Each structure stands twice: as structure tokens, then as C-alpha cells.
């Protein structure tokens, strides 16, 4: 039987990083099997939390990351509908809930909040943790149906055995056993007729033939209750893969609510989807080989759930930035130029060779939004202080710089071939002629034609892009400033 996994997000806002990593791991598990199937299911039963447009964000994010689902609301499949609210309309969940009642795995509950709160207060007064003991469990199905016919509001709760234990195996955390008496009898069908996540996910996973369930470790404590439902129906239990959380620091999880970046935020900040995906794959999973840069296809080949850790992985923005820079520098120039041209156009309006600018920037920019601020000197030669020529490493100061710039001015005035190669030959000949290190000539020149201490390229590269007339004009201005 082919592996079948699912990504089942709720459309409640942006795609946060932990959610995207769950989708990635579910995709990798499925695609490890040549015939594996990756499913998208929209779990929208909590109608109060839905956000307009959030489903489109889910589609767009998966598409941007290359996590193409084989079945789902937008592509179809043999197990639809893949939207839970549409499955509710068919009466599917209520039908299975009623069947579960007959099997002894659930019961009708007519208790109101006042009765539940009274129990809570009593148990807390005894110093006990709250566990609702539903008196409705003792009602016969016939009595319950009479009450329902008379219009009494109700919910359907799971019935948990009062004794014994429930065990399950998890690929990450191993065998877990819990005492049944510690499990609360959760609501399966709410008073509005909608199922809770805890019931709908079990029914849908079974009906859709899900073989491997990948989800966050926050669902570990609920898995015994899910298994009791599976067992009551006599259904096969899927393989569980619970993943540790993605952490902001040692104490708190990443959360959009706390202002932490979502996938969409990171893309706006100039990160490549491929780099984001590469980075989050390593948050909690360790490859068997000593490497960090993976394409999606390479992740499929390398991924092994046995290498998922049990502790939370801390999201490191600096590590992501480094990895994004590696991805950018690994691109061929034509692809890179097509990607960054809008960012160069934003900063450079003058008639300069923008592909040459892209080549210079590619080796320095770690994110796309780093690019415009690097290039502001092309259109406007900024004012700067002569103190910038003081550089211990380069062994320069304003006096040394003035000498260097005059030598450069003389050498470049008669330069007819303004290609980067020719400029490199001319300017690198000066340190040899003057018997000084390269930096004593090239550092002042770069500052003199950009007005900036830090630039995306060296003096030779930038002079070649600026052109002869503009380079000499800026040189003359800087020489005059130093002489004054």
C-alpha cells in the first residue's frame, strides 16, 4: 500500500513557520515512497477563527515552496470533499458519532456550562485537576433521543474507560502509555453540529486512507484518545510522527501572535522560499551526512524520520540569513539577474549596466531587500567626511589617500579601454610601481568614487560600471575635498 500523508491546516491567518515545517515533513514522508501521496485538507470546523483569504495563503505558500499536493480542494481526488465544512453538510461526522455511541465509544451530553463549572469548582477546592465526570453517560440512547426530539441542546462526548491504559507508538518519541483515568472525555460534536478537530481528524484520516500522520508534539497527549476512537470502530491506526516545536528561544515557541515572522513575512524581507524550506527542514531534523544545503529533491532522498529530535529547535534568524545568502550566490547570473532586477531598478535610475551591478551584488547581499540600500551611490554621489580615509588595516589616512587618488587620476585619464579587465590591469600596476600594498591604492579609490565606507563591490568593479566620465568627475571632487 502506498504511503498517504496529509497536511491539514486551519485557514486562520498567515502560514507560520512551524506549520510550514509540518507540511514539509509530511511531503517528504510521502515522497520517500515513489508512489506516495501528499494530501491537502482544509480543517475549517472552528468557524469563529476563520480568516478571509487564509485558504488562498495556504495554496500560495505550498505552491511557492514546491510542496505540490496530489489531492486537495483545488486539485480534486477520490476522497473529497477535502474541506471539512463541506463534509459537515453531508452529515458525515454526525453519522459516525452516532455509530460511535452505539459502539460504546461516545455518549450524548445535555449538561450546561453551569453544571460543568460546579464540578470544576468542587474538584479544584479538593486540590484536584479538573476532569469532567459526565452524569449523562448513564442515560440510555432511547432517553437521549427523546430529549433531542423535545429540542434539548446537546453535544456528543467521547466515552473513556475508567480503568486500564492506552498505548501507542510514535516514530519520534517511542512507546507512550497513559492511564485511561487521566484522559478527559472530550467533545466530539459541538452544539452547532460541527465536529471538533479531535473527532474530525480521526474520521477523515481513516476515510482518506492516511497511513502516516505528521503533526506537532502538542497532539501527543490527545493521541491516546484518538486511538480509543480507532479501536472502537475497529480501524487500523496510522503511523504517528510527532515533531518537536520550533522555538523562539529556550522558553517560548514561535508565534505570529507574539510578532514572530511568518513565511509571508520572510518572503517580504527578501528570503527565497527554497532557502526558507531548506532551513526549516533542519529545525529538529539532522541529516546523516555533514551538509546543510539541500534542494527539495535532495531533502526527499535524505529525509529519515528516525533523525527527528525530541526537543524544540530554536529558530536562528542569522543562520537563515546566511543560508539565504548561500542560495543567492549559488544561482547562475542570468537567473539571479532576473530575480534581483526589480530591486536594482528600485535603487538605480541612471543608465548603468544593471547586469554588471547584479554580478557585483550577488557576492555580497544575503537577502533581496539588502540590495537597494547598497546601491544608492550610483545615482547620487553622497557627501562624506575625510575621516573615512583613516583605516588602520589598509594603512591609509587623508594624506596617503590624496597621493593615491592623484596617481589613480593620472593613470585613468588616458585609459581608453574601460572594461573591468583593462581597469584591473591599470590600477593593479600602481601599487607595484609605488611599491605599496594594493589596499593603499584601491581603498581610497573606492571611497573616492562611492562616498561610502562599505560597498557591494571593489574599486575596479564600481569604476567599470560608473564609466570613465563619472569616475573621473567623482575623483576630481574627492581630490579637491582632500586638498581643501
Which residue is it, cell 475497529?
234
* Residue found by looking up cell 491539514 in the block: 8
Mode of pairing for the β-strands spanning 239-243 and 212-216: parallel
Question: Cis peptide before 81, with omega less than 30 degrees from 0?
Answer: yes
Active site residue 306: no
| N-to-C CA span, the chain | 83
Beta strands in 194-336 (DSSP E): 212-216, 239-243, 246-247, 313-314
Is residue 9 within 8 A of residue 172, CB to CB? The reply is no
Per the rule left: phi > 0, alpha: psi between -120 and 50, beta: everything else, 309 is beta
The torsion angle over the Cα atoms of residues 62, 65, 66 and 70, rounded to 10 degrees, is: -20
Is 441 in contact with 391 (CB distance < 8 Å)?
no
User: Which of 189, 185, 180, 196 is CA-nearest to residue 134?
Assistant: 185
**Residues in the chain, total:** 484
One of 31, 32, 225, 256 is an active-site residue; which one? 256
Cα(20)–Cα(309) distance, rounded to whole angstroms? 17
Radius of gyration of the chain (CA): 32
CA distance 213 to 242: 8
CA separation for the pair 377, 379 (Å, rounded): 6
3-state secondary structure of 169: strand
Residue 455 phi/psi, 5-degree rounding, is -135, 160
Q: Which residues are catalytic?
A: 256
Amino acid at each position: 500500500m502506498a504511503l498517504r500523508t496529509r497536511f491539514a491546516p486551519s485557514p486562520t491567518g498567515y502560514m507560520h513557520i512551524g506549520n510550514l515545517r509540518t507540511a514539509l515533513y509530511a511531503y517528504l514522508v510521502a515522497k520517500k515512497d515513489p508512489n506516495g501521496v501528499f494530501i491537502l485538507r482544509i480543517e475549517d470546523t472552528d468557524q469563529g477563527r476563520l480568516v478571509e483569504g487564509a485558504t488562498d495563503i495556504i495554496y500560495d505558500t505550498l505552491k511557492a515552496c514546491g510542496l505540490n499536493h496530489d489531492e486537495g480542494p483545488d486539485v480534486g481526488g477520490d476522497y473529497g470533499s477535502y474541506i471539512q465544512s463541506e463534509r459537515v453538510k453531508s452529515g458525515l461526522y454526525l453519522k459516525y458519532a452516532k455509530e460511535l455511541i452505539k459502539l460504546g465509544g461516545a455518549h450524548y451530553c445535555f449538561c450546561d456550562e453551569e453544571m460543568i463549572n460546579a464540578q470544576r469548582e468542587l474538584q479544584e477546592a479538593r486540590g484536584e485537576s479538573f476532569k469532567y465526570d459526565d452524569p449523562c453517560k448513564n442515560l440510555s440512547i432511547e432517553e437521549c433521543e427523546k430529549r433531542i426530539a423535545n429540542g434539548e441542546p446537546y453535544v456528543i462526548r467521547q466515552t473513556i474507560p475508567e480503568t486500564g491504559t492506552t498505548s501507542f507508538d510514535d516514530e519520534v518519541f517511542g512507546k507512550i502509555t497513559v492511564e485511561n483515568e487521566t484522559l478527559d472525555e472530550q467533545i466530539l460534536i459541538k452544539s452547532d453540529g460541527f465536529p471538533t478537530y479531535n473527532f474530525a481528524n480521526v474520521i477523515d484520516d481513516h476515510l482518506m486512507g492516511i497511513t502516516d500522520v505528521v503533526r506537532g508534539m502538542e497532539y501527543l497527549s490527545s493521541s491516546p484518545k484518538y486511538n480509543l476512537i480507532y479501536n472502537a470502530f475497529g480501524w487500523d491506526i496510522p503511523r504517528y510522527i510527532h515533531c518537536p516545536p520550533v522555538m523562539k528561544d529556550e522558553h517560548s515557541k514561535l508565534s505570529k501572535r507574539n510578532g514572530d515572522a511568518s513565511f509571508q513575512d520572510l518572503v517580504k524581507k527578501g528570503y527565497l522560499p527554497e532557502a526558507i524550506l531548506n532551513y526549516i527542514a533542519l529545525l529538529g531534523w539532522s541529516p546523516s551526512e555533514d551538509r546543510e544545503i539541500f534542494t527539495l529533491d535532495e531533502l526527499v532522498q535524505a529525509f529519515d524520520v528516525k533523525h527527528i529530535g525530541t526537543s524544540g529547535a530554536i529558530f536562528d534568524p542569522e543562520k537563515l540569513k546566511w543560508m539565504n545568502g548561500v542560495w543567492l550566490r549559488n544561482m547562475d547570473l542570468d537567473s539571479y539577474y532576473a530575480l534581483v532586477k526589480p530591486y536594482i531598478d528600485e535603487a538605480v535610475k541612471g543608465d548603468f549596466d544593471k547586469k554588471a551591478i547584479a554580478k557585483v551584488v550577488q557576492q555580497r547581499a544575503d537577502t533581496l531587500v539588502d540590495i537597494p540600500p547598497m546601491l544608492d551611490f550610483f545615482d547620487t554621489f553622497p557627501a562624506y567626511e575625510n575621516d573615512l580615509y583613516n583605516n588602520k588595516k589598509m594603512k591609509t589616512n587623508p594624506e596617503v589617500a590624496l597621493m593615491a587618488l592623484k596617481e589613480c587620476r593620472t593613470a585613468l585619464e588616458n585609459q581608453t579601454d574601460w572594461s573591468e579587465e583593462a581597469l584591473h590591469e591599470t590600477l593593479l600596476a600602481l601599487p607595484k610601481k609605488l611599491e605599496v600594498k594594493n589596499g593603499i591604492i584601491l581603498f581610497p579609490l573606492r571611497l573616492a568614487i562611492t562616498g561610502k565606507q562599505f560597498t557591494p563591490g571593489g574599486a575596479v568593479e564600481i569604476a567599470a560600471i560608473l564609466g570613465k566620465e563619472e569616475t573621473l568627475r567623482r575623483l576630481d571632487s574627492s581630490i579637491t575635498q582632500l586638498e581643501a
